[in-house]
Structures are given as structure tokens and as C-alpha cells.
């Protein structure tokens, strides 16, 4: 994961805070999972937000992505206090690159957890292996065992890291990075704006997000497996 900009523009910041204020009370306070609301997407789930896209395009990297790839969606993700952790996964089965704008500070207690190889080229080299793990929907401990079976050892070949950055920075999440939202162990709700682009349009059938529902169950072919595993694993073992 790469921090593209330490801080977004004030105009974009103000507009995103305006959006958060509008939607904040719609998130169910009883939900313990990661939920999301769509700001704009390819399916016209909500009114196309031209102002938001114009503000995002002021960043050169986002402008490049908008010009070259198709937008999947822009969402606000909400992690309540003590939220349940997600399973590690690749967004849209590894067909989408995402950009995050945290609206709250990300620390060791609430930042996105991800796997990073000591040799960065191996993130791509072992992409097919992570696709396989993605479809199996494994716990963290089982991922470590699976990688060990492939002669990849934790804290030797790779490590688990946590994204830590200030609110209103811009972070790139490449399609090949295996990651998850960990439990929000802070005393504050966590909000992240996610901008997702399809980089392999022909290999995945995108469907609209369902606002305010468990975001982990909104991404296609791994849904059934994820539901089953949620019932098998204790939440602390994910």
C-alpha cells in the first residue's frame, strides 16, 4: 500500500465531510461489521456525483485512473467501535485497484492490515496463489500455514503490516495486495472513502453494492464461502 498524497485538497476534504454528515446517521448502530454507502457508481445506484469526481481528478494519479480505467464505485466505509474483522481478500477477486481517503486517523488499532513481501516483486509473482487463498476464504493462521506449504515464511519472506496514516491522506491499494479491515479497537468510529477502478474489465461481473449491508458480502463469487466461514470461525480467529 502506498501513500500517494499526505493530504487532499481543502475543497475535497470539505465536500467529503459534507457527505459524511449527510450519511452518518444512516449507518445502523447495531451492526458490528463493516458497512458502506455508495456515493456514486457505474450502476447509478445514486445520482452521478460530477462534483466529487471533478475534485478527485485534481490529484494527478486519480485523474490518470479515471481517464484510463472504468470506475466501479465510490463508497464511504464505516467501521463501528469493536467492529468484526474481515477475512483477508483481494478486492473484486483481484480485478480492481482501490484508493482510500481515511476521514479518521488510521493507527495500529484500526488501520487496514495487509501482507507485504520483503521483495516487492513477489507480490505479483505469487498473485495466483493469493487468488487461490482468496477463493478459499481462510483465517489468518490458515493463510500462514498455506504460505508455509508453498515455502513462504512469515517474517522471513513476507510480513503482516498495518496501514497507519493521517486523516485526509490518499492511499493506493494495488489489485494484488492481500488485505483486510481489522477490528476497530479505538474509541471512535472509523470512516474511509474508497474509490475503486476496474483494471481487468472482462474477468469479473460487477454488481451494485447494497447500501448499509455487510460490505464483505458484496463482492461476487466468494460470498457463499465467506458466509459459511463466518459461521465456522470464532471472530477472534479470523
Tens digit of pLDDT per residue, the chain (238 long)? 899 999 999 999 999 999 999 999 888 777 788 888 899 988 877 778 999 999 999 999 999 999 999 999 999 999 999 988 888 999 988 999 999 999 999 999 999 999 999 998 999 999 999 999 988 888 899 999 999 999 999 999 999 999 999 999 999 999 999 999 999 999 999 999 999 999 987 766 777 766 656 555 445 545 555 555 555 555 555 5
Q: Can you tell me the distance from the alpha carbon of 119 to that of 172, in angstroms, rounded to the nearest whole number?
A: 18
User: What nine digits make up the cell of 173?
Assistant: 491499494
pLDDT of residue 108: 97
Please say whether the beta carbons of 3 and 102 come within 8 A: no
The CATH architecture annotation of domain 2-112+164-233 reads: Sandwich (2.60)
pLDDT of residue 33: 83
Q: Can you tell me the distance from the alpha carbon of 81 to that of 185, in angstroms, rounded to the nearest whole number?
A: 6
Q: At what angle do helices 140-149 and 127-136 cross, to 10 degrees?
A: 140
Backbone φ and ψ for 10, nearest 5 degrees, come out as: -65, -35
pLDDT of residue 232: 54
pLDDT of residue 213: 60
Phi-psi region of 82 (alpha: psi -120 to 50; beta: other; left: phi over 0): left
The CA–CA distances, whole Å, from 180 to 17, 57, 68, 201 equal 24, 27, 26, 23
Q: Can you tell me the distance from the alpha carbon of 77 to that of 37, in angstroms, rounded to the nearest whole number?
A: 7
The CA–CA distances, whole Å, from 60 to 86, 116, 157, 166 equal 31, 26, 33, 20
Amino acid at each position: 500500500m502506498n501513500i500517494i498524497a499526505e493530504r487532499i485538497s481543502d475543497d475535497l476534504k470539505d465536500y467529503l465531510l459534507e457527505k459524511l454528515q449527510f450519511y452518518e446517521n444512516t449507518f445502523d448502530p447495531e451492526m458490528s461489521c463493516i458497512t458502506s454507502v455508495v456515493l456514486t457508481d457505474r450502476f447509478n445506484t445514486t445520482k452521478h456525483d460530477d462534483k466529487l469526481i471533478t475534485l478527485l481528478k485534481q490529484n494527478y494519479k486519480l485523474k490518470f485512473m479515471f481517464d484510463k480505467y472504468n470506475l466501479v464505485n465510490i463508497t464511504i466505509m464505516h467501521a463501528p467501535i469493536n467492529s468484526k474483522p474481515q477475512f483477508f481478500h483481494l478486492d473484486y477477486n483481484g480485478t480492481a485497484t482501490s484508493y482510500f481517503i481515511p476521514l479518521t486517523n488510521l493507527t495500529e488499532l484500526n488501520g487496514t492490515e495487509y501482507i507485504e513481501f520483503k521483495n516487492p516483486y513477489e507480490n505479483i509473482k505469487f498473485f495466483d496463489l493469493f487468488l487461490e487463498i482468496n477463493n478459499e476464504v481462510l483465517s489468518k493462521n490458515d493463510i500462514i500455514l498455506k504460505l508455509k506449504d508453498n515455502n513462504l515464511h512469515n517474517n522471513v519472506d513476507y510480513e503482516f503490516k498495518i496501514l497507519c496514516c493521517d486523516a485526509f491522506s490518499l492511499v493506493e491499494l494495488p489489485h494484488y495486495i492481500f488485505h483486510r479491515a481489522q477490528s476497530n479497537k479505538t474509541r471512535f468510529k472509523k470512516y474511509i472513502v474508497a474509490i475503486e477502478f476496474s483494471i481487468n474489465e472482462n474477468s469479473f461481473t460487477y454488481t451494485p453494492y447494497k447500501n448499509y449491508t455487510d460490505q464483505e458480502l458484496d463482492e461476487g463469487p466468494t460470498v457463499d464461502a465467506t458466509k459459511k466461514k463466518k459461521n465456522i470461525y470464532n471472530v477472534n480467529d479470523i
